Amino acid sequence: MSEEIEEYPLHKAVFQNDLPGLSKLLRKHDVASKDKHGNTALHLAVMLGRKECVLLLLKYDAPVKVKNGLGWTVLSEAVSYGNRPTISSLVRKFRQQSREQMEQRRPNLVAALNKISDFYMELKWDFQSWVPLVSRILPSDVCKIYKSGASIRLDTTLVDFSDMRWERGDISFIFNGDAKPNESLTVLDNNSKVYQQVRYEESEMEIEDEVDLLMSTDILAAQISTKRISFARAQSGWIFREDKKELVAGQYDAELYTVHGLTLDSRKRREHLSSDDLQKNRAILDSFTKGGNLQNLDQNGVPVRRTSLVPPPEKNITWEEYINAEVNNYPRLGRDLVYKESSKSFKATIAMSSDFPLSVEMLLNVLEVIAPFKHFSKLRDFINFKLPSGFPVKVELPILPTVTAKMTFQEFEFRNDIPNNMFSIPNDYIEDPTRFPDL
């Protein structure tokens, strides 16, 4: 049994709060390695409240986004424990690692875009609901996408759509693959004639605002489960059944498929919240999505920040008790869970056509660029599934329990006459770094 215990030296050093030993081990062991329960050493350091170990592991670039065997990230466990400096350090490191990962993908993304011929494309969104009154007021939008070289421009009137609220406008999203990283992503508000560079660096206030939000709201883990997903040809007819086909946008012959086994699994934790927090939850979220302050200002105009929680009681669990426990059935190390989970099944349909001139791989490269828009991110995630042959010219998928988004590629043409000035900021536009607070 001792050989199994010594298999995870970093984890054992953290568990025993052996900082000198951990420092030596980090020079020759993988900081991202997981133990039998799927925890990294950073997971354990956070759950056990080993603040010095957390800082040392972050110095060695321990991954923050990684999930353990129970599906929780390091940041989730840090919010549960409630030490504000630790949460702040993790948020900063997470942002840094996200930037670095994007920069690693960037050369391949730019190369992929340069291989695609220049084109113009129209993508129509219709948001629908089985609730009649809701369906009547849901928005629709036609997105116009221009691609030239390594540059992409997307024009849209639907700025944002979440939690049954949406913002209309005249917005252009521009990606310039040949520009410097800090200048490659720009959003134009064509009504107000202002623009905002999508920054790579966050201000200290933005970091602390995010920490306030994390400490004040539920810990959420939601994902679309693809374990049982399958595609079946949609059929029509009562007696003589035949596969359904459709002419999409008047030009693309498509075969219709029903998507089975699509479920949204969501889990919620709130052991770090007081009863007062729960009452304020909605107001805080509303304030954040509108770009306002999360907390009231004091008499000097300084935001009143959340303070660290009182640490949970010491559990006095030994390393042997932890590592010898059944997989993912180890004793709770941090604060006792207050936990709720739910699973909802959804029905989606998809129309696949071999007539469309763009490949799925090419589409994914385009969506990689414009994914900051929430509904495009959901579409990209869906298309990442293993689709039937052809191109998804029409997709209907749920985005909320009562709302379905229908996306249709209704026009596409290769073009070599797209002017370069479509990918530049007009001279009469003024920079406004605060126009889009969620970007």
- Report pTM: 0.76
H or E stretch at 7: none
What tokens were used for 345? 């099944």
pLDDT of amino acid 160: 55
Residue 395, helix vs strand vs coil = strand
Q: What is the pLDDT along the chain (439 residues), one digit of tens a residue?
A: 444 447 899 999 999 999 999 999 999 999 999 999 999 999 999 999 999 999 999 999 999 999 999 999 999 999 999 999 999 999 999 999 988 887 888 888 888 889 889 999 998 888 776 555 554 555 678 889 999 999 999 898 865 545 445 566 788 989 888 888 777 889 899 988 999 887 666 678 888 888 998 998 899 887 777 677 888 888 776 666 677 888 888 889 999 999 888 787 889 999 999 888 877 766 555 554 444 444 556 666 667 788 999 999 988 899 999 999 999 999 999 999 999 988 888 778 899 999 999 888 888 777 776 655 555 566 666 666 678 889 989 988 776 666 778 889 988 999 999 999 999 999 999 998 877 665 5
Sort 316 into a burial class: Cβ within 10 Å, 0-12 / 13-18 / 19+.
Answer: exposed
Residue type, 74: V
> In CATH, which of 3.50.4.10, 2.40.50.140, 1.25.40.20, 2.60.40.420 is domain 2-98+271-336?
1.25.40.20
pLDDT of amino acid 16: 94
Category of 328 on φ-ψ map: left (φ > 0), alpha (ψ -120 to 50) or beta: left
Hey, where are the domains in the chain? 2-98+271-336
Separation between Cα atoms, residue 296 and residue 299, nearest integer Å: 10
Separation between Cα atoms, residue 377 and residue 234, nearest integer Å: 26
User: Nearest 5°: phi and psi at 205?
Assistant: -65, -40
